[in-house]
Amino acid sequence: DAKTTQPPSMDCAEGRAANLPCNHSTISGNEYVYWYRQIHSQGPQYIIHGLKNNETNEMASLIITEDRKSSTLILPHATLRDTAVYYCIVRVGGAQKLVFGQGTRLTINP
Amino acid sequence: DGGITQSPKYLFRKEGQNVTLSCEQNLNHDAMYWYRQDPGQGLRLIYYSQIVNDFQKGDIAEGYSVSREKKESFPLTVTSAQKNPTAFYLCASSNRDDNSPLHFGNGTRLTVT
């Protein structure tokens, strides 16, 4: 599985959009990009995933660059409850494991 | 509600004892997984199972054992051979579709003294 690089921490003001970047420069053509988040002492929560098109759901939007070497998770109107560690993961479709990196600790400030 | 249940949430054991962590899912998922998380670290894969009566070692399987006798259940035994068993253990499940996301339980925090 390709490795990902994320900033270790970020801050965002409540009500603003939080944009979390992820580099995956060695991604293969059949690898999906997944985003999860983890609040302290809980299991990771699935947010969104995509292959090459931008995706949006009720939680977030995922923007993948045309060359697929990087992506951005957007939380459109961040709230205090969005404070968590966010993990960007790439995974081959059909593969049965996710490889987690260190993630980005996002802090939403009032 | 459909989901993954891990029990207990906190578990304490003496060194040298084996301990079994429970994981049950009612999502009708074929695949199940066990991860371990240490403080300030990402998740590391211990074992995974794609189908009943079959499982594969992950990246850190030494000192652990699993069974998959039922689709709904994937218990993890932490044996006395595991050198650093104190950790946060997470169970997950997923469909076997190509891009199906994993869904996680809320974990069991094991402390061995």
Contact check, Cβ <8 Å, A44/B98: no
pLDDT in tens, chain B (113 residues): 569 999 999 999 999 999 999 999 999 999 999 999 998 778 889 999 999 999 999 989 999 999 999 999 999 999 998 999 999 999 999 987 768 888 999 999 999 99
Collect all residues of chain B within an 8 Å Cβ-Cβ radius of residue A100: 35, 42-44
B11 in Cβ contact with B88 (< 8 Å): no
Contact check, Cβ <8 Å, B48/A97: yes
Among A3, A99, A92, CA closest to B58:
A99
A→B contacts (Cβ < 8 Å), by residue, are 32, 34, 41-46, 49, 51, 87, 93-94, 96-103
CB nearest to A49's CB, from B31, B96, B101: B101
- Cα–Cα distance, B99 to A49 (Å, whole number): 8
Nearest 5°: the CA angle A71, B89, A26 is 25
